Amino acid sequence: MEFNKCSQCGSFFISAGKLCPNCTTKDTTKIQKLDNYIENYSIPDTIEELSLNTGIPTKDLTRYMTENQKYSNLF
Ligand SMILES: [Zn+2]
């Protein structure tokens, strides 16, 4: 059996991917919030402001921008 180490919380898990099922669920919720915000509002000038408005930590926003092309040119 192969274990993966979650790049978010550091716990070990068996399923594929970089994040454990727990963090994947949290990430999905945050990405939904982000998508919802982008659809309904204009993007603020700074990532800090976007973080405040969405409740998503800047480090997560930065990660989404690196990992997902959809968000790569938000700022
Ligand atoms: Zn995790």
pLDDT interval class at 71 (50, 70, 90):
very high
Q: CA–CA distance from 53 to each of 3, 7, 40 (Å)?
A: 36, 25, 12
Residue 60 lies in a domain: yes
Residue 6 lies in a domain: no
- Expressed in angstroms and rounded, the spacing between residue 31 Cα and the centre of ligand 1 is 16
**Bridge partners for 13 per DSSP:** 4
- Expressed in angstroms and rounded, the spacing between residue 45 Cα and the centre of ligand 1 is 30
Q: Specify whether the CB–CB gap between 29 and 17 falls below 8 A.
A: no
Both tokens of 73, joined, read 């040119």
Residue 28 lies in a domain: yes
**Domain range for 57:** 21-71
pLDDT digits (tens, 9 = 90+) for 14-64: 988 889 999 999 999 999 999 999 999 999 999 999 999 999 999 999 999
- Expressed in angstroms and rounded, the spacing between residue 42 Cα and the centre of ligand 1 is 31
Residue 16 lies in a domain: no
- Expressed in angstroms and rounded, the spacing between residue 9 Cα and the centre of ligand 1 is 4
Residue 9 lies in a domain: no
Global pTM value: 0.86
Residue 2 has pLDDT above 90, yes or no: no
- Expressed in angstroms and rounded, the spacing between residue 10 Cα and the centre of ligand 1 is 6
**Single-letter residue type at 17:** G
